[in-house]
Each structure stands twice: as structure tokens, then as C-alpha cells.
Amino acid sequence: MSSSKKDLFRASKKGAISVSSLGEATSDLEIYSKEVLTALICDNLPPTPNNFNIYFDRLMESKSESFKKQVNGILELEDDNGDEQSMELEKSLKEGFLSVKNILQVGANLYKNMALMSKILEKHKKELQNSPEAQSVLRVVTNLDNDVTKLNGILKKQTTHMKTLYEETAAIVKNVENETIFDNQYGLYNRRYFMSKLEQEAHLMVEFKHKSSLIALKLSKEIDSQINSEKALHLMTRTIARLLLKTSRRSDVIAHYGKGVFVMMLKHTNIDNAKNAAERLYDLVSSSNFFLAEQEINLKVAIGVSEISNKMNEDEIIICTIEAMESCNNNEASHYEVCER
């Protein structure tokens, strides 16, 4: 038995794949892989791992749900989730930095409370000084005040040291953030990462002569005008982000471009197929409901579509796609608009 089939057999013992379907699954996968390779050759594309992965996802769209489920079960066994692991690492780093910040805040509050205690003791000392019969109590309070003053001095030094450590940690986190790929707000890739991938894809298109497209979308102004709550709008936007992840292919690159605008790069997808994808996205979002108190709201998005072209640089392609999205946003009858340049 090959090593891959051994892995599948181990997975089947854990309940991931049934033993009875193991042979059938691998056999069907082998047939499908040959189909993918044939499609690449017919389109005059080199069978590189990257192109194979893209066509593997693209042709999967026409397969039955049972086949998709069968293949995805096998793929999950070998998926190393490299970028996803990086995203989780970045998320943990930011959470750790937030914890450090909270510790500093606790230390600062403790220092403030100790300073307040010193003021209270000083006040009581003055009160006792006016009472001759309370001299013994005054001595106790004076000694206690001296001890609190010493402790307060030590705590002040430690708090200052903690602040220095915090500033050093903040500088480290800032440097890391300059290289991050994760948008913590919506759980997608960030703008910097997306732009690097868009530039990379533009070079690949020149090299291999294939078509790729871009989609930009955001919550429509029709919904925006109905809702007065910033929190509710943010939750709706997060819902759209989750829907994008749900409907995308593994080869698609989805990112938060900024201010609630999402961008999706569809590799090896011409403008007509991108239009179909935009229509599916519109229908998916429109069929999703959001409940705000007792009010049920049908979500709606504005979508812009463009084909990535060497006639425009990466910034111009993004701008044109967003302009198409804004044009759609101003046209209630339109499901999407296409970049015309």
C-alpha cells in the first residue's frame, strides 16, 4: 500500500473517511486529476503545481456535491494551511500584545491606588496631630505612612520598567504588523498581502497568457441608510466576509481592502465567468437575512467586476473595480457593474 493510501486508511480508522469508500475515492481522484491535467494542456498552460491547483478548484465547480465532499475529505488530510497558520499566529501575537497592555494598565492602577492611600494616611495624620490623647495611634499611622511611601516608590520604579517593556513590545509588534498578511477585523487577508498577490498574478498572466479577474464589493448604501447603529453595520459586514469565505474556491484570494470594502481575485477566470461569480455572490448575500432586534433585514451588496489587464497597473485595476462597485451602488437595479477602461 502506498504511503498516501496508508494515510487515508489511518484517517478512515479515525472516522474521516469510511474504509468502504477508500478505494473508490482514490480511484475517482486519479481520474479527476487526469481530467485536470488534460484541461491544462488543452489551454496551453504548463502543468505547474500552482496552475494545477487552480484548475483543480475550477473544474470542481461542475462536479456533483457528493464528489466534492469525497475529494475535500481527502484534501483535508494533506492540507498544511500555511497561510492560515500564519494568520492564526498573527492573531495570537496581537492578543498577546493586548494582554501585555492590560497588565501595564493594572500596574498603573495599582500605583494610583497606592498614591491615594498615601494621601489618605497623610490626612489622618493631620487629624491625629490635633488630638493629644492619640499620640500612640499617630506613631502607628506615621510608621505605616513611611512603609507605604517606600512601597509606593518601589512600585513606581517597577511601573516605569513595565512601561519601558511595553514600549519595546509595541515596537516589535509594529514591525511584525508591517509584514502581516491577516486582517484581524474580518478574518481575511489584508490589503498589503492582496496587492502583492495581485502583482504576482499580473506577472503570471504575462508569462502564461491566461485570464484572471477581480471583484470588489461592499454593503450597499441602501442597507447603510436603513441602519443607524455602527455596531449592527459592522456585524453585517462581518457576515458578508464569512459568506465570501464560504463561497470562494481555495485558489481565490479574498481580502479586506479597507473601510468595509472586500476584494476577491479570481485566478484563471475570464470576465464572463467573473460576471457569473458576481451574480452568484449577489444571490448568496441577498438570500441571507440579518436580525436586528425584531427587525429582519435582507442583506444586499454593491459589486464591481474587472478583468486584470496589463493595460493598467495594480493600483489602477483596483481603482477601476472600486469605481464600478460605486457605480453599482448608485444603481439599485444593478447587481454588479463592470470596469470599463
pLDDT (tens digit per residue) in 127-146:
777 776 677 777 777 777 78
φ, ψ for residue 228 (rounded to 5)?
Answer: -95, -10
Q: Measured in whole angstroms, how far is the alpha carbon of residue 240 from the centre of its chain?
A: 12
Across the range 288-297, mean pLDDT stands at 83
Coil/strand/helix, residue 292: strand
Burial of 267 (C-beta count, 10 Å sphere; 0-12/13-18/19+): buried
Amino acid making up residue 44:
N
Q: Does pTM surpass 0.75? A: no
Cell of 110: 495599582
**Which run of H or of E encompasses 199?**
helix 191-208
One DSSP character per residue, 121-137 reads: HHHHHHHHHT-GGGHHH
Comparing 56 with 97, the larger pLDDT belongs to: 56
Strands 261-266 vs 253-258: parallel, antiparallel or unpaired: antiparallel
Query: Is the pLDDT score of 204 beyond 80?
Result: yes
Amino acid making up residue 230:
E
Determine the Cα–Cα distance for residues 198 and 204; give it in Å rounded to an integer.
Answer: 10
Query: Is the pLDDT score of 124 beyond 80?
Result: no
Question: Domain boundaries in the chain?
Answer: 3-78, 84-177, 183-338
Query: Is the pLDDT score of 175 beyond 70?
Result: yes
183-338 belongs to which CATH class? alpha beta
Other C-beta atoms closer than 10 Å to the C-beta of 237 total 21
